[in-house]
Amino acid sequence: MLHIVLVEPEIPGNTGNISRLCAATGCELHLVKPLGFSVDDRYLKRAGLDYWHLVKIHYHDNFAQVMELYKDHTFYFNTTKAVRSHADVRYQPGDMLVFGKETAGLPDAILDINRDNCIRIPMVDDARSLNLSNAVAIAAYEGLRQLQFPGLR
């Protein structure tokens, strides 16, 4: 299955929606601290509805920890600064789809050393970005489609 990595997410509703997506698809969710909210936040819980028992969530103190724990996995860094489309990647089980915080995206320090694995969701030139939970859904479902929706009906 795929892994969704949120680096320093700020908005509880987005993370709740992404949690629900992970519950419905079997993707594992990784939350990289610091989080911009408490995991007890009512908006987070509300957005995830009653799916929390279906989500496998990992908490990490920093992104370097994720890279070390999953060094045998392929990481794809979602950013509006990339040239390659998310649909041009050939996803494999266990791939890590990485997303940055809502207000700033992924830090340049992460992007600079991972340029070859940076991907973007195509959109018109005048659009700055998509909502984080929408972007995660688009990328995740493209990966799942390529993997022929394993375990999904």
Binding-site sequence positions for S-adenosyl-L-methionine: 100, 121, 129
DSSP state of 57: E
State the binding site: 100, 121, 129
Single-letter amino acid, residue 54: L
Beta bridge partners of 19: none
CA 82 to chain centre: 16
Among 25, 19, 90, 21, which residue's Cα sits nearest to residue 59?
A: 19
Residues 6+ apart with CB under 8 A from 101: 7, 8, 9, 10, 36
Residue 136 burial (CB count, 10 A) = 25
Q: Which two tokens stand for residue 54?
A: 């279906």
DSSP state of 54: G
